[in-house]
Amino acid sequence: MSTVRYLVTGGAGFIGSNLVAALAAAGEHVRVLDNLSTGRWTHLDGIEAQSRVERIEGDIRDPNAVAEAARGVEVIFHQAALGSVPRSVETPVESDAVNVGGTVTVLDVARRLGVRRVVFAASSSAYGETPVLPKQEDMTPLPLSPYAVTKLAGEQYVKVFAGIYGLEAISLRYFNVFGPNQTPDGAYAAAIPRFVDAALAGRAIEIYGDGLQTRDFCYVDNTVHSNLLAASTPRKLSGEVVNIAGGRRIALNDLCAEISRILGRQILVEHVAPRPGDIRHSLADIGRAGELLGYAPHVRWEDGLQPTIDYLTALRSKGPSEAAHTTTAAALSAKFGPREGEAVWRPAI
């Protein structure tokens, strides 16, 4: 049996499934741990080499389940979390238990089993409403929601485990990731799938506030690439925090205009009251990620919007399993590819 060198927690979720697809496409055998509370095994159905993917249903709060999944691996990509700011506002205790308690469990198992490196999915929500743009990693965090607090706590635990136990680890602060396998389900859906799904259904897109608020949208292929670079860099990692984003600011009104342009028709937009916990503006300084990892975004948000719309169209008409076959991060890597001089991840197969 081939060696499994990578574990992806939350690998049946949005970002995790795209990461699993990229690893499998590169010839790697990958283990996935997911409790399926928000993830779906169907997100992995688009992977051609299914024999390279080992699926384990389990919870990151369960040390035995994490130990079973992590045994023998070299790198853990810790993507599992209860996402969504609004969800955390409604259920802060559950968000803390999963996002903080689960992360400590993953780190503790990793150091006990001698895992070489942990790559932690952190969040730009930690910055909160700091007025300065772009956001730099050395700014004082001002989290506005329980979710943001849990992700910031995860970063601190990553640093502590690196400092006390010598566990190599890094925190990647994601900024507004979007793309295939991000579903528009329920009240906690992210902006882009929610907007696109409404437009496809002929419903009005609800924007919380005036639509002038901005986000640094990052196509999931860029996020996946940053994880692979973090796993493979020869530098010794000691709990560093780096921004992962597109490095551009997009107003929500402009996002709606671009969706309208791609669909080739006018779409309805309705402005409603702002939500508690939402920030006004977001823009990342990605210089540190470039210096430390060689990261640079190679898919613009405009280019990522079309495959996202294709996925959501297929999701509505054919269901999640068929939609998962529409596109993957690995396929887009081949299409767009890194620019000349950009760092490239190459696994040892």
Three-state secondary-structure class, residue 324: coil
Strand partners, 44: none
Q: Classify the C-alpha dihedral 150-157-129-205 as positive or negative.
A: negative
* 129 DSSP 8-state letter: T
**Alpha-carbon gap, residue 178 to 325, rounded angstroms:** 17
Which of these, 191, 189, 199, lies nearest to 83 by C-alpha position? Answer: 189
Q: Is 147 a catalytic residue?
A: yes
What the block records as the tokens of 27 is 């010839």
> Which residues, in sequence order, are CB contacts of 250 under 8 Å at separation 6+?
214, 215, 216, 217, 301
Segments in the chain forming alpha helices (H): 14-25, 63-70, 85-90, 92-96, 102-113, 146-165, 191-201, 220-232, 252-263, 287-293, 301-318, 320-323, 329-336
Q: Which of 6, 147, 157, 311 is catalytic?
A: 147
Phi, psi for 223 (deg, rounded to 5):
-65, -45
What the block records as the tokens of 241 is 């925090």
Active-site positions? Answer: 147
